Structure 1
Amino acid sequence: MNIGMFSDTYIPQKNGVATALKLYKDEMEKLGHNVFLFVPKYDINYTREEKNVIEFPAVKFPFEKEQRVAIPFSWKVFKIKDLNLDIVHSHDPFSMGILAMSVSRLLNIKHIGTHHTMYEYYLHYLPPIMRPPVELTQKVVKNWCLKLDKVIAPTNNIKNTLIEYGVPSYHIEVIPTGIDISSFDNPITWDLRKEYPSIKEEDRILIFVGRLGKEKNIDFLIKVFSKVFAEEKNVKFVIIGGGPEKENLELLAQELKVKEHVIFTDAQPREKVIDAYKQSDIFIFASYTETQGLVVLEAMSAGTPVVALGKLGVYDLLSQEDAGGIMIKELNEDDFVNEILRLLRDNTLYEELSRKAKDFVKNNYSIETCVKNILDLYEREIMSGEDE
């Protein structure tokens, strides 16, 4: 198949959607398909080496500099018909998603979309005067979904959310985003203790990976860590990621008198992030916006037990039997602290959860399974179009 994927984010941006797209592309190409990515130009000084990535002019989003807003007007649009695309797959409803909609209609080919992001939880990045009501945001998502031939939801919880927006159940396919499990088999090359000498050999490591934004509740995790540290002194908290909240989080760590024990690494390449998971003892997570929670799956794939807030997609993961993680139902500091301490102190429980976590991801969330399900959906939609 010749597959066209359209997205407003892609590597080297560091987020779940960008990572998922790279995994999709690599796996589909491994199976012999041609995948063409249509994405914003990341930076005028950034040159891509990857084949079949078509970049469009873009500007930095004024209120979040890491994000890009594509301008989907380019001579490259006229070349798309020469690619003989069999299917179009968009990954957001905005500029590149609008282009995907136009391409599918002009070429009369099926259009699949994946709902990756709960946009209503990100409205705080807009100034109040430009901030749309939550209801309008949900309506935009609903209208986009209804114009697609099928919409993919990463979890049943997100499917139910889309149904609440007004999207019919039959219009939605649940296909979880997969993990490249084999990448976790490589030997560790980034030694956290060597890079950050404040982490002693005897220290246990708690880790968070993700964007440093308000919606991720990292301030809550630092407060939790300060209480854990009060009980267990040989513990460090490693925070991997960049974002607008970093300065505020550093100030909070200082106020709570744990600054020397909280390590901010900034954003790191995927290879280093995987190394960090593998050297850590517990992954802690309190975001309430995740459509699935890829970082939760990544931690589990490394055999790192998870203590996480069970909302939206994370609930769908950790509520499953033998998931290998501990789910906290509500945002309660003491509940998090108690479960973290229990894991740190109970070696039998720790080893059991570590084993279950790796098996759970391997058996249910491999990128191979995910891509097979997406390709099956493509083929069904293409066949249904031929029958019409």
Structure 2
Amino acid sequence: MAPGSKKPIKVLIACDTFAPDVNGAAKFAERLAAGLTSRGHEVQVFAPAATAKHGTWTEEHEGQTFLVHRIKSWRWYPHDWLRYALPWLIHAESRRILDTFKPDVVHFQSHINIGRGVTIEAAKRGIRIIGTNHFMPENMLEFTLIPKSMHERLIKMAWKAARRTFGRAEAVTTPTVRAAEFLEKYTGLEGVLAISCGIDAHNYSPSFEPRTENRILFVGRVTSEKQIDVLLHAVTLLAPELDAQVEIVGGGDQKRNLEHLAQSLGISKRVVFRGYVTDEELRDAYTRATLFAMPSIAELQSIATMEAMASGLPIVAANAMALPHLVHDEQNGYLFEPGSAQDLADKLTLVLTAAPEALDALKHESLRLIGAHDINRTLDTFESLYRGEPVVDTITSEAAAHSTE
């Protein structure tokens, strides 16, 4: 750190999903750990082992190296990648890490399993606790064998559990205003801060070259809550002369079903399922796309949408959860009625038939709006929270600034 700057902080980031997992929560934890390390802070990560191999070792993420404690874990087989650790192992490992590392702050990323165990042990030791929520119980239940008749009761139990764990934190954050309101409503918590997951826009390459094709891109987990089936149905409603191609990047339990759906709809030659790709391949996919589509109804922020904006793409997204905080209708894209293939097709058509000047205007607005989600602002805010300094809600403060322009 620079001479005369504040003392570095020792931070333990505890999460139930971490790289190589591919999802928004894992990516945020990875970028947070790397960003804090790059600023001279001492960071360690506590997460489930990604394979049968478990232990503590130094790993490299986002160009930075730090210690990662990988606890013994088991696959949750209804899910395509989720792993879990047993509670008594979590408590034992939490005690070991906290007593050897002696962090100034524990920042947990969900109230499930590791978050619950490590906060109990951190509270006993008087360690400052910060909590961030990326989790919606409704999304998890689809990966269980529990009858739907019991879901409502279990969702209420899950939110009560969240209240107990987040209640141990001195500050609670979540990526968007809508997500903060959601968390307060269902847990009874107050003062939840909306702090963007943040993104380094310099990692992405917008293209303003003349359009030579109509390419629709989706990036994310290929699961039912993403409603990729709505996107496929919408493509069948587009004018044939648009010759729209669809690129779907990501893996998940619905990939095979969606491939069959594309075939049954007669659009399999126009839809490519890329599966998991490298970071470089992902950036290339953003650059070559004409627009980005996000039909999901369960986004607490959507890092993929932020990456698309940083790539200068117009966005067509469902008017649900946190997406309206990123997509400003008719400014950097369009919002459509969730679940409506016809409305999605209509909004896709508006972008795909836009004159070059209008398309460039949408692109420039995406680039302007993503500035509010700069990773350095996110890191600044969490540094202040770790030190117990007052902070402002970065999302609402940015909105207020724009309202006065």
What TM-score bracket applies, with the shorter chain setting the length?
0.7 to 0.9
Given the alignment of the two structures, is residue 349 of structure 1 paired with residue 358 of structure 2, yes or no?
yes
Match of 2:101 in 1: 83
Match of 1:366 in 2: 374
Match of 2:120 in 1: 102
Distance 2:352 2:205 in 1: 25
Match of 1:163 in 2: 184
Match of 1:337 in 2: 345
Look up the equivalent residue of 1:159 and give its one-letter code: A
Match of 1:304 in 2: 313
Per-residue deviation, residues 224-273 of structure 1 (Å, max 9, x unmatched): 11212x43343210001111111110111011100111000111122221
Contact in 2 for aligned 1:307/1:325 (Cα 8 Å): yes
Q: Mark the CA change 1:203 to 1:220 in structure 2 (over 3 Å): closer, same or farther.
A: same
Structure 1 runs (4+) deviating above 6 angstroms are none
Q: Mark the CA change 1:80 to 1:143 in structure 2 (over 3 Å): closer, same or farther.
A: closer
Q: Mark the CA change 1:16 to 1:166 in structure 2 (over 3 Å): closer, same or farther.
A: closer
Distance 1:320 1:52 in 2: 43
Distance 2:365 2:336 in 1: 18
Given the alignment of the two structures, is residue 126 of structure 1 paired with residue 147 of structure 2, yes or no?
no
Deviates more, 1:312-321 or 1:80-89: 312-321
Gaps of 5+ in 2: 1-8, 61-65, 391-405
Look up the equivalent residue of 2:282 and give its one-letter code: V
Contact in 2 for aligned 1:202/1:234 (Cα 8 Å): no
Distance 1:312 1:372 in 2: 26
Deviates more, 1:172-181 or 1:42-51: 42-51
Look up the equivalent residue of 2:245 and give its one-letter code: K
Given the alignment of the two structures, is residue 153 of structure 1 paired with residue 174 of structure 2, yes or no?
yes
For 2:161, what is the secondary structure of its paired residue? helix
Distance 1:348 1:81 in 2: 60
Match of 1:64 in 2: 79
Contact in 2 for aligned 1:56/1:74 (Cα 8 Å): no
Look up the equivalent residue of 1:305 and give its one-letter code: P
Distance 1:239 1:147 in 2: 40
Given the alignment of the two structures, is residue 224 of structure 1 paired with residue 234 of structure 2, yes or no?
yes
Distance 1:334 1:48 in 2: 50
Match of 2:394 in 1: none
Given the alignment of the two structures, is residue 176 of structure 1 paired with residue 196 of structure 2, yes or no?
yes
Structure number with higher helix proportion: 1
Shift of 1:151: 1.0
Contact in 1 for aligned 2:221/2:252 (Cα 8 Å): yes
Q: Mark the CA change 1:157 to 1:221 in structure 2 (over 3 Å): closer, same or farther.
A: same
Gaps of 5+ in 1: 188-200, 383-388
Distance 1:48 1:261 in 2: 43
Q: TM-score, normalised by structure 2?
A: 0.84
Q: Mark the CA change 1:277 to 1:185 in structure 2 (over 3 Å): closer, same or farther.
A: closer
Match of 1:54 in 2: 69
| Number of residue pairs matched by the alignment | 366
Contact in 1 for aligned 2:15/2:114 (Cα 8 Å): yes
Given the alignment of the two structures, is residue 211 of structure 1 paired with residue 221 of structure 2, yes or no?
yes
Distance 2:302 2:165 in 1: 23
Contact in 2 for aligned 1:118/1:290 (Cα 8 Å): no
Distance 2:384 2:204 in 1: 27
Q: Mark the CA change 1:119 to 1:212 in structure 2 (over 3 Å): closer, same or farther.
A: same
Distance 2:389 2:329 in 1: 30
